[in-house]
Amino acid sequence: MIEIVPESPELHADAIEALYDRTFGPGHFAKTAERLREGNRSRPDLTRIAISNGAVIGVCRIWPIVVGADRAPAVFVGPVAVEPGFQGQRLGLTVTGEALEAATAAGCGAAIIIGAPQYFGELGFTVVAPDRFSFPGPQDMARVMVRDLAGSADALSGAVSAY
């Protein structure tokens, strides 16, 4: 049986980091997306993990970010990872969908994600115009997507940062 639950950092944080290392490999901290996470604090209450037999086998974390000159609040979604032996059941979409529902219920206005449009498009994410956002490092804008949550993503534009 697979359970989807919020993150309890004292129970799950180490297992989540180990899952990221196994699925993305050691290079993942070099990505520009990591610049929005380092020194930031994720929202364990909105993060969703998949548990099987006590082991963390899937995760989607949620991070607070601000966007543009008016520092509009939004959430940054990910990384999304599924244990290789459990891939092929759309578990990444399940944990991400449940994390987005939690963020919506908490009143978060809109979400930004960086990933594969074919995959995350299924959850309502759409790719943005290439000049709409800037990031703290080089970024392939064809992988940058937004989605409405409790509010609209339409007004978001400009520099995306952790604070």
User: How far is CA 7 from its chain centroid?
Assistant: 14
Touching ligand COA, residues 42-101 (CB under 6 A): 78-82, 87-93
Q: Sort strands 72-82 and 110-114 into parallel, antiparallel or unpaired.
A: parallel
Q: Which one of 40, 119, 132, 162 is in contact with ligand COA (CB under 6 A)?
A: 119
Specify whether the CB–CB gap between 111 and 70 falls below 8 A: no
Q: Which one of 24, 55, 107, 142 is in contact with ligand COA (CB under 6 A)?
A: 24
Q: Which SS3 state, helix, strand or coil, does residue 127 take?
A: strand
Residue nearest to ligand COA (CB): 92
Closer Cβ to ligand COA, 30 or 155, answer by number: 30
Q: How far is the CB of 95 from ligand COA (least distance, A)?
A: 8
* Cβ neighbours, 10 Å, residue 74: 24
Closer Cβ to ligand COA, 15 or 68, answer by number: 15
Closer Cβ to ligand COA, 81 or 160, answer by number: 81
Q: Sort strands 48-52 and 2-6 into parallel, antiparallel or unpaired.
A: antiparallel
Element (H, E) at 55: strand 55-67
Closer Cβ to ligand COA, 105 or 116, answer by number: 116
Touching ligand COA, residues 123-142 (CB under 6 A): none
Q: How far is the CB of 28 from ligand COA (least distance, A)?
A: 8
Q: How crowded is the C-beta side of 161, counted as CA atoms within 13 Å?
A: 8
Q: How far apart are the first and last CA of the chain?
A: 39
Closer Cβ to ligand COA, 143 or 151, answer by number: 143
**Binding region for ligand COA (CB under 6 A):** 23-24, 78-82, 87-93, 115-116, 118-119
